[in-house]
A and B are shown apart, each in its own frame.
Chain A
Amino acid sequence: MSLKLKKGVNKQSAYNLRDPNLDYEAAHTLSIIVDNESGVLARVIGLFSGRGYNIDSLTVAEVDPDGHRSRITIVTTGTPKVINQIKAQLNRMVPVHEVIDLTLKGKAVQRELAIFKVVANGNQRVESLRLADVFRAKVVDSTLKSFTFELTGTSEKIDAFAELMAPLGLKEIARTGIVALLRGDNSS
């Protein structure tokens, strides 16, 4: 039996062999190029809330100041049918120029930045610094009672660091949410 792969999809992905009607939910990272105009983020978010789609993570910033374009990176979860709907609905919006499903397109670099405030004394303080070194987290601020660490990495790495810091006096975390780009020399 020949595999019925749709044209233009990553041949290594078994995703397209799946029945699109299956209730199989998966996380997808979508990269959306939009006009950087007022209200554009509200439009995108409104689409998700209005139609009952999930947003697991969302980041946005202007990436092309000359063309006034921003890149929105959204991680969402849904069945293949829902993910297709989300992409079609996004594509319908006037300020949306491109919707790239990084999860379908192949391997993507996905990173998050987080800042941790750890307040501790004695051994705990030393231990937090040692672990930060292991994770290659940077100390960006310190007092006699606290460290503020900056860490970049996959969301899993940040989760792991947060877990380790919790008993060592972790007080606050700020995370950016995921930014992502396709690997390799292709621009998406």
Chain B
Amino acid sequence: MTQANKITGAEIVIKALIDQGVDTVFGYPGGAILPIYDELFQQKKIKHILVRHEQAATHAAEGYARSTGKIGVVFVTSGPGATNSVTGLTDALMDSVPIVVISGQVPTFMIGNDAFQEADTVGITRPCTKHNWLVKDTNKLAETIHKAFEVAGSGRPGPVLVDVPKDVQFASGCYTKKNEIKKKFIKKESSIDLNLLDEAISRLERAERPIIYSGGGVINSGQSAVNSLRNLVAGTNFPITSTLMGLGSYPASGKNWLGMLGMHGTYEANMCMHDCDFMLCIGARFDDRITGRIDAFSPNSYKVHLDIDPSSINKNITVDAPLIGDVSQILSVLIARWKERGSKVNKKKLSAWWKSIESWKAVQSLGYENSSSVIKPQYAVQRLEELTKSYNRFVSTEVGQHQMWAAQFMGFEEPNRWMTSGGLGTMGYGFPASIGIQIAHPNSLVINVAGEASWLMNMQELGTAVQYRLPVKQFILNNERLGMVRQWQELLHGERYSHSWSDALPDFVKLAEAYGIKGIRCEDPAMLDDNIREMIDYPGPVIFDCLVEKHENCFPMIPSGKAHNEMILGEQTEENSISDDGAVLV
């Protein structure tokens, strides 16, 4: 290639992103990434969203990615910019969200000298990315960025980081097109073990007490996996439950839906998991929030596990039939073979199983005592659900009790509509995520169901919401408590409420006004509906300060160290129910 064909590293970065179909980048500039920002300034294809903190850029990119199925992209500068992205990278790794972070770095000749704003970014982010690269040669830059996208989006998706020293951004080099890259780094996908598949199908046909337990993997696998899952449920009439990450893959209005399972899942979902004789786990990973006590987890079931990641197999729970590969592929093979064999299920036993399920449902584990004087948080979420479900709606959450109530009381009919921090449980996720979602879906209703404490962790993003006129609705269930922490202290630490209240809270309405947006405060259950409608109708960002009961606990709950059939249903039965062993667990 002649000198004339060469372009600068910064140009290569932008060109590679355009080549990858990127239309939006979330970021924050600084010295070590200035050449890239200079290129950004001189083009029109990529829109840059200036956040107010790099952590928010990563969460916004996650929200963007999870609500679109595309890859989220982030720019940060070296040193503090890069270290601020660590929480978002870890969050994306835990929840398998594909994001590409491009970080500036000090020039190659200064690396290792404790230069200004130097940090060992690839060292720091190695354990919290799927892979990362330090690019020292401008000629390798395009190839590396294309690889980064490939790695982020393939197999089990996840975050990657490309660290680009400033001199590499300035230097000239050759551009390599996306389709000129060999895909040699893609791991070969293993073929399905057909013997095992047939064994699994024959178990499915004979199952007396089956359960389908699906997770985020179904959503990551895409619409065809979602369709297959729905077909399988309809064809078999098996009950289905999902993890926090899997909500929406099966519609909440579907007749086989049991609600979420796990620590704060429904009684019927957890009882099914415990008592079943056949479990079909699809794209979920037997996380400790799901299993409860490992040695008492679903003791009598034949377990089939569909997952793209071999390291998820037999990690926490040993299964009988691991089927490794893309969930949509395995599901379609499984369904095809099951149909070939006559689409059989054990109908008679199945209807008896549904009778037990009905009796568990009758317990109404999500029940709570409502009040006419104070807003119960569950009631607030229920009303929010009622008044917004007919909209083209996306929901994000922060982390805490409000998150669990949102998962329990909101219904999702489609995948990619529910964005929450599951694996890492990152307070501060929801607000920036809602910004990323709204950027991707400008005409949709985007609501962040928040707790006041979590929301404060990234409240600086009000500036971003206002700057880009993003009508995100911040629905804060304000209990003036770190509610989930308070709940654990009540149940596990002798009601010693060590530092679990939110003191010195701002006046959220005035805060909204300070940013020139709308603030609504509601403390009267009778006003709730009107106020929620007002929030929906307002054509801009809203902070909704919903003052709720301060000491409400989130039930049902499987205490740490307990089995599924030992869940606490409500206040009256909780005495002595958590052992000291359980208190050690998180």
| A positions within 8 Å CB-CB of B | 20-21, 38-39, 42-43, 46, 50, 81, 84-85, 88-89, 91-95
Task: State whether A20 and B131 are in contact (beta carbons under 8 Å apart), knowing that A43-B126, A46-B126, A88-B310 are contacts in the complex.
Answer: no
Interface string of B118-145 (1 = CB under 8 A from A): 0000110011001100100000000000
Which residues of A lie under 8 Å from residue B185 when comparing CB positions? 94
B155, closest chain A residue (CB): A92
B131, closest chain A residue (CB): A94
User: Does B313 sit at the interface, judged by CB under 8 A?
Assistant: yes
User: Does B309 sit at the interface, judged by CB under 8 A?
Assistant: yes
**How far, in whole Å, are A91 and B310 apart by their CA atoms in the complex?**
9
Cross-interface CB contact of A39 among B126, B130, B187, B318, cutoff 8 Å: B126
- A-B contact number at CB 8 A: 38
**How far, in whole Å, are A5 and B122 apart by their CA atoms in the complex?**
43
- New A-B pairs, 16, CB < 8 Å, besides A42-B123, A91-B310, A92-B187: A21-B318, A39-B123, A39-B134, A46-B126, A46-B127, A81-B314, A81-B318, A85-B311, A85-B315, A88-B313, A89-B311, A91-B187, A91-B311, A92-B309, A92-B310, A93-B131
Q: List 28 A-B contacts (CB under 8 A).
A: A20-B314, A21-B318, A38-B134, A39-B122, A39-B123, A39-B126, A39-B134, A42-B126, A43-B126, A46-B126, A81-B314, A81-B318, A85-B311, A85-B314, A88-B309, A88-B310, A88-B311, A88-B313, A91-B187, A92-B187, A92-B309, A92-B310, A92-B311, A93-B131, A94-B130, A94-B151, A94-B185, A95-B131
**How far, in whole Å, are A94 and B156 apart by their CA atoms in the complex?**
12
Which residues of B lie under 8 Å from residue A94 when comparing CB positions? 130-131, 151, 185
Within the complex, what minimum Cβ distance (angstroms) separates A97 from chain B? 9
Within the complex, what minimum Cβ distance (angstroms) separates B163 from chain A? 11
CB interface residues, B 292-333, toward A, < 8 Å = 309-311, 313-315, 318
**How far, in whole Å, are A42 and B313 apart by their CA atoms in the complex?**
25
A91, closest chain B residue (CB): B310
Within the complex, what minimum Cβ distance (angstroms) separates B359 from chain A? 33
Which residues of A lie under 8 Å from residue B131 when comparing CB positions? 93-95
**How far, in whole Å, are A87 and B392 apart by their CA atoms in the complex?**
44
Cross-interface CB contact of A20 among B122, B310, B318, cutoff 8 Å: B318
**How far, in whole Å, are A91 and B134 apart by their CA atoms in the complex?**
22
B130, closest chain A residue (CB): A94
Cross-interface CB contact of B127 among A21, A50, A95, cutoff 8 Å: A50
**How far, in whole Å, are A166 and B318 apart by their CA atoms in the complex?**
47
Within the complex, what minimum Cβ distance (angstroms) separates B316 from chain A? 10
**How far, in whole Å, are A43 and B131 apart by their CA atoms in the complex?**
9
CB interface residues, B 354-371, toward A, < 8 Å = none
**How far, in whole Å, are A81 and B311 apart by their CA atoms in the complex?**
11
**How far, in whole Å, are A147 and B151 apart by their CA atoms in the complex?**
53
The 5 closest A-B CB pairs, nearest first, are A88-B311, A94-B131, A88-B310, A89-B311, A50-B127
A43, closest chain B residue (CB): B126
B185, closest chain A residue (CB): A94
Within the complex, what minimum Cβ distance (angstroms) separates A16 from chain B? 14
**How far, in whole Å, are A20 and B320 apart by their CA atoms in the complex?**
12
**How far, in whole Å, are A95 and B131 apart by their CA atoms in the complex?**
9
Which residues of A lie under 8 Å from residue B311 when comparing CB positions? 85, 88-89, 91-92
Interface string of B381-404 (1 = CB under 8 A from A): 000000000000000000000000
**How far, in whole Å, are A39 and B131 apart by their CA atoms in the complex?**
11
**How far, in whole Å, are A20 and B322 apart by their CA atoms in the complex?**
14
Which of A38, A39, A95 has the largest count of B CB atoms less than 10 A from its CB?
Answer: A39
**How far, in whole Å, are A68 and B130 apart by their CA atoms in the complex?**
21
**How far, in whole Å, are A95 and B122 apart by their CA atoms in the complex?**
15
**How far, in whole Å, are A88 and B156 apart by their CA atoms in the complex?**
13
Which residues of B lie under 8 Å from residue A50 when comparing CB positions? 127
Question: Is B134 within 8 A of A84, CB to CB?
Answer: no
